[in-house]
A and B are shown apart, each in its own frame.
Chain A
Amino acid sequence: MALLALVPLFYVATYVVIIGPVDLWHLLARPRIAELLRNTVTLATACMAATAVLGVALAVLVERTDLPGRRLWHGLLVAPLAVPAFVNGYAWVSLDRSVHGFSGAFTVVTLSYYPLVYLPVVAMLRRLDPALEESSWSLGHSRARTFRTVVLPQLRPAVLGGALLVGLHLLAEFGALSLLRFPTFTTAIYDQYGSTFNGAAATAMAGVLVLLCLVLLLAELRLRGNRRYARLGRGAARHAVPLTLGPWRWPALAAAGTVVALAIGVPAYSLVRWLLVGTSTEFPLAELAEALGATVVLALAGAVVTTLAAIPVVWLAVRHRGWASTVIERSTYIANALPGIVVGLALVVASLRLVPGVYQTAALLVAAYVILFLPRAVVTVRAGLEQAPTVLDDVAHSLGTGPLATARRVTLPLIAPSLGAGAALVFLAISTELTATLMLSPIGTSTLATEFWSASSELRYGAAAPYALLLVLVSIPATVLLMRTDSPANQTERIPA
């Protein structure tokens, strides 16, 4: 299974070796590549900075002030996660054609992804021991200085980790940036693949993209490795006393309201508008049902296979710790840094060269889903298995129960909820996956994402609306899971569909 996860990486690495440095340089040293690199890096940097500022500001406002209706605001501020970025891009472009290029991409991506910073910062603020701040006040520091010198350093891992997640999402983002006509490596690879099937150029660009992703992934791993727990002491945690906003609550409400209006209001308005008044709006119930059915079948198959694949990986990692099991587990995480476009491209080429029979079959598409979403299943199932310590197996054995009966009577019942949660997360992620599905879905198979894409890329915005609505509806349960900030689902969100 770990080998399957490494197929895309092998593909890119092998290609780079085969093509040789001269040809590779020839392919990469072009003004077009320079432009793509500039676009990608500029957008990623700007969006990471913007989401960091927005995420921290909103988290502090909701968690540490007496902003009226804080619980409601929390729900509303997380809600953008239920709108896939490509649906958000569609909502803005279809309302106003002038939203495009860098400014359009920056706006839409920031509004789609700021919750990835907001959520971990909220979680960290909740876990912070108020005694730290109280100690600082007692030492004569003001609230502002305390925030700067005590709270912010503790938030650093959450902020940087969240911002790096935004970067990884952005590097992988295809749908939104394509609709907003802002070319990055991911959109360019797809264009090359779709228009000319120029494998060489596409793969060379995929190599650069993988490098960029790996840089971000390594940075994230490094940061996570250094993270210290905010709460050191034992005993009941207290909540910090919220800051009284006084007359400042009106501008604060206005600021939170503006973010929500732009991040949720615009896509909601746009969707409703196209559903109600769009001239091309149709409700082809049979086609909708067919796309929904295909999506559900593919997502179910992908979820079951991915979760089953996660079990041996997790079992080895938790129950048989050692360098080999660690390497196997970590290699599945590399998929975190591999955008759907690279996985799709790798599987297209690998299947055509090695096993042509599987090209354009559902099996190959499910394999892509396994590679893309195995990390989510592994993280969730691992959290479950760690709740089933080996001492329970020892006790069961001492009570006369053999290994198989122990697995059936003790381990499986204990990890069943996490298996279910892992499968649900993967199911929902597959339901809204666009890029790999576009490249690998069997001819004649239409999913919600491919139908939406087909309509919106042909500017049939009304026809795309019902699919967009269904995509939002299937994203809601995953968002609710993510809102529970202490759930392991929190740590599973890594890279977008």
Chain B
Amino acid sequence: MTSVSITGVTKSFGATRAVDDVTLHVPHGSFTTVLGPSGCGKTTLLRLIAGFLLPESGNIAFGDTTVAGDGVRPVAPQARRVGYVPQEGALFPHLDVAANIAFGLPREARGGGRGRDRVAEMLDLVELPADFRDRRPDELSGGQQQRVALARSLAPQPAVVLLDEPFSSLDASLRGSTARAVRRALEATNTTALLVTHDQNEALSLADQVAVMRAGRLVQSAPPSEVYLSPTDPQVAEFVGRAVVLPGTATDARATCALGEVVLTEPTTGPVALMIRPEQVFVDLAHDEGVRGTVEEVSYYGHDCAVQVRLDEGTSVLARMAGVRHPGPGDVVHLRVTGLVRAYHPAGAE
């Protein structure tokens, strides 16, 4: 197992710069998710690490070994010891589960007792029954195929595992359980892993580190809670979960905006953009304390609900509250902000 260091890597396709001067460190044994919208360059970054593409500039190193970079002869994909799990698994359709898992083992280890033991060990690791070994890929569900694909990538004990939106084709219920099984398997083997996804929930819930990409550039790389609570700019805030961004005026540790006075994470002064998470907006149904508004729309999810409120002064604000008791459209409510609020200066810098 090893760490992955990407330094100033750039890759273009024609006039489009798919990956633009990206620098990222994935520590040994950690799980990093690369989060970004479609077309932001995250899959290209993964393919550069795997060796399927070569960077125009910059370096990629596994531990102390540079596998691609300026003035370095690139290491071929088959020599990088990378486990690659693409979308929908891409199991070899002509091989059964056991042969798929054993595919990357040395020839002498594929057959016989050693091969059988390794396959059984891998099936156990990804929480699949041992009798799945003789099944064909088309006899497996989507989640089972993904688990076999992970087992196949882990069997040769790779230096790093790369997962390219592996859960995107699964339905919601399967996605969660498969993702957790994959996380446990990677933890058990202490494997360095990098997963690309456009799903914020997946990125936040699985990772030790979240790297957010936008238009080819890496805009933030931090633990999940930091990315969520302290996004680097309002665009990241709006991409990682829902956000209410309001203009305001800051004076030291406080600022005023359409939702009244709020307390800032860090003191600043002057006109700012304030990022408030919807769950920070408290909807008071009983008292008239706070800023008055009228409920326009309620989206009910069971455990919670999203309430869109039009303030009397005209601004529309999203609030999230428990689903136990909630207002209906047309109800008059009072809103106030709880917790600390992050402020950005108009140029994006605090």
A residues adjacent to B (C-beta < 8 A): 387, 389, 391-392, 394-402, 409-410, 413-414
Contacts and interface: CB of A to CB of B under 8 A. Distances in A.
Contacts of A395: 84, 86, 90, 92, 149, 152
Contacts of B94: 413-414
Contacts of A414: 92-94
Interface stretch (B33-41, B75-83, B192-200, B210-218): B75-83
Nearest to A417: B94
B153 A391 contact: no
B92 A398 contact: no
Contact of A392 (B51, B79, B92, B153): B92
Interface in B39-59: 47, 50-52
Contacts of B90: 389, 391-392, 394-395
Contacts of A392: 90, 92
Given A402-B78, A413-B94, A414-B93, A396 B103 contact: yes
B350 to A, nearest CB: 41
B161 to A, nearest CB: 10
28 contacts: A389-B90, A391-B86, A391-B90, A392-B90, A394-B50, A394-B86, A394-B90, A395-B84, A395-B86, A395-B149, A395-B152, A396-B103, A397-B52, A397-B76, A398-B77, A398-B78, A398-B84, A398-B104, A398-B153, A398-B162, A399-B84, A399-B103, A399-B153, A400-B78, A400-B79, A402-B76, A410-B92, A413-B94
Contacts of A396: 92, 103
B156 interface: yes
Contacts of B81: 400
Nearest to B82: A398
B84 A394 contact: yes
Interface in B89-119: 90, 92-94, 103-104
Given A398-B84, A409-B103, 12 more contacts: A394-B47, A394-B86, A397-B52, A398-B50, A398-B83, A398-B104, A398-B158, A399-B84, A400-B79, A400-B81, A400-B104, A414-B93
Contacts of B51: 397
A389 B90 CA distance: 9
B62 to A, nearest CB: 13
Nearest to B79: A400
Contacts of A394: 47, 50, 52, 77, 84, 86, 90
A399 B50 CA distance: 11
B142 to A, nearest CB: 15
A392 B149 CA distance: 11
B322 to A, nearest CB: 36
B52 A401 contact: no
Top-5 shortest CB links A-B: A399-B104, A398-B84, A397-B77, A391-B90, A413-B94
A234 to B, nearest CB: 13
Contacts of A409: 103
A395 to B, nearest CB: 5
A56 B272 CA distance: 71
A238 to B, nearest CB: 23
Contacts of A402: 76, 78
A235 to B, nearest CB: 14
Contacts of A387: 93
Nearest to A397: B77
A246 to B, nearest CB: 43
Nearest to B103: A399
Contacts of A413: 94
Contact of B156 (A389, A391, A400, A410): A400
Contacts of B93: 387, 414
A23 B127 CA distance: 81
A322 to B, nearest CB: 13
B204 to A, nearest CB: 27
B86 A397 contact: no
A350 B50 CA distance: 51
Interface in B264-316: none
A396 B76 CA distance: 12
Contacts of B103: 396, 399, 401, 409
Contacts of A410: 92
Query: Residue among A389, A397, A400, A409 with the most chain B CB within 10 A?
Result: A400
Nearest to A413: B94
Contacts of B82: 398
A461 B78 CA distance: 65
A394 B80 CA distance: 12
Nearest to A414: B94
A276 B135 CA distance: 55
B152 A399 contact: yes
Contacts of B84: 394-395, 398-399
A271 B201 CA distance: 73
Contacts of B47: 394
A389 B93 CA distance: 11
A413 B153 CA distance: 21
A378 B205 CA distance: 48
A401 B81 CA distance: 10
Most B CB contacts (10 A, CB to CB) among A396, A399, A409 go to A399
Interface centre among B52, B77, B79, B156 (most CB of A within 10 A): B77
B173 to A, nearest CB: 19
A373 B234 CA distance: 62
Nearest to B84: A398
Nearest to B152: A399
Contacts of A400: 78-79, 81, 104, 156
A409 B156 CA distance: 17
A397 B77 CA distance: 6
A400 to B, nearest CB: 5
A398 B92 CA distance: 14
Contacts of B158: 398
A397 B78 contact: yes
A52 to B, nearest CB: 39
A389 B91 CA distance: 11
Interface string B184-196: 0000000000000
A389 B92 CA distance: 10
A474 B164 CA distance: 49
Contacts of B156: 399-400
B44 to A, nearest CB: 13
A347 to B, nearest CB: 39
Nearest to A389: B90
A400 B79 CA distance: 6
A204 B77 CA distance: 57
A311 B82 CA distance: 30
Interface string B121-153: 000000000000000000000000000010011
Nearest to A416: B94
